[in-house]
Amino acid sequence: MRTLIAVLMLLCCGIVFAHDARPVAVTISETLPGIFQAMLRVPPTVTDDNVPTLSWPASCSATGNDATLMRCDGDLAGRQFTLDYPQFNPSLATFYRLQSLNGSERSAMLAPNEEVWIVPAAMTRGRIARDYLLLGVEHIIGGLDHLLFVLGLLVIARTAKRILLAVTGFTVAHSITLSLSSLGLISIPVAPVEAVIALSILFLAHEISRHEADGLTYRYPMLVSFCFGLLHGLGFASALGEIGLVRDEIFVSLLFFNLGVEAGQVLFIVAVVALVLASRVLPGIRTSHSQNGAGTAALNRRIDLLAAYVIGVPSAYWLIERVAQFV
């Protein structure tokens, strides 16, 4: 019993304190012919004394006191950009986007060990698909709140069939709102959405702690996951909105970002299930299987309570923090 609880605690704590995998987003926009402006979006895990700076090609020079506004001679194809950290790169990928006045866009997702981006002459549809797929995976792996919600669904659903239904409901729902919001068909302020996302996780923690088998959540996990999935899709859309869609390939970039989110979600579920299956062969677990029905039920109850606390504590903190942003 102690071994199983320890395994779950290590899993959940690893999620709560995991490294924020969201990439640094670098957007370079041509504001006037030959004049470019850069904007960097850095995850909150990067400390103030380690915020990176963008190094421009040698053919570019500052236009004035604003270091983000540069004049560049000729086409930037074949030129290189680098992101320099004062201390070190904390294992963050970098997403570059170059927008020209003529409407063309060039982008790339660079791994943490890739320091230089050489601007391509043109973008292929395959490269756009690859970049946005990686962006989706990066976002879901770095989205601790979304992962905790999925973990809560796994605890409630338990069986393979119910897990499949719950995850399907969540996937369909967030795909709908992600698409509608990214295409500008609906618009909801980000701050309230993020607060309600935290509330949805806290709700699952509460339901796990109560463990009412005849309650709505346990009887119809797909319904619950679908309803809250609509909100989580808006959260995904806000992250995608910070980077934007490729204007000439809106459908491709949106589709593959969503597929990346699904791929990251599946990887997380597989990792959780594999860890649970592996825990069953540990010495401390084999003993628990030999217990009578009452002993097994008591063990499962303790595990559920542990999961409820590990999911509920950070979500309660996020709820208070996010509500405070707009109250």
Interval 202-228: pLDDT, tens: 999 999 998 888 888 999 999 999 999
Q: Is the pLDDT of residue 103 over 90?
A: no
Query: Is 299 within the bounds of a domain?
Result: yes
pLDDT in tens, 172-199: 999 999 999 999 899 888 889 999 999 9
Query: Is 133 within the bounds of a domain?
Result: no
Return the higher-pLDDT residue of 8 and 235.
Answer: 235
Query: Is 270 within the bounds of a domain?
Result: yes
Q: Is the pLDDT of residue 287 over 60?
A: no
Q: Are residues 193 and 292 in the same domain?
A: yes
Q: Are residues 187 and 115 in the same domain?
A: no
Average pLDDT over residues 309-324: 92
What integer pLDDT is reported at residue 197 of this predicted model? Answer: 94
Q: Are residues 157 and 259 in the same domain?
A: yes
Last residue of a domain, one of 123, 154, 169: 123
Q: Are residues 222 and 242 in the same domain?
A: yes
Q: Is the pLDDT of residue 286 over 80?
A: no
What integer pLDDT is reported at residue 206 of this predicted model? Answer: 93
Residue % of the chain over a pLDDT of 70: 87
Q: How many domains does the chain have?
A: 2
Q: Are residues 36 and 97 in the same domain?
A: yes
Output the average pLDDT for the chain.
Answer: 85
Q: Residue 308: which domain range?
A: 2-18+143-324
Q: Are residues 34 and 8 in the same domain?
A: no
Q: Are residues 12 and 147 in the same domain?
A: yes
Query: Is 109 within the bounds of a domain?
Result: yes
pTM for the full model?
0.81
Helical spans, DSSP H, in 17-111? none
Q: Is the pLDDT of residue 285 over 70?
A: no
When pLDDT is cut at 50, 70 and 90, the band that residue 288 belongs to is: very low
What integer pLDDT is reported at residue 19 of this predicted model? Answer: 42
Query: Is 136 within the bounds of a domain?
Result: no
Q: Are residues 211 and 255 in the same domain?
A: yes
What integer pLDDT is reported at residue 252 of this predicted model? Answer: 93
Query: Is 279 within the bounds of a domain?
Result: yes
Q: Are residues 114 and 194 in the same domain?
A: no
Q: Are residues 177 and 246 in the same domain?
A: yes
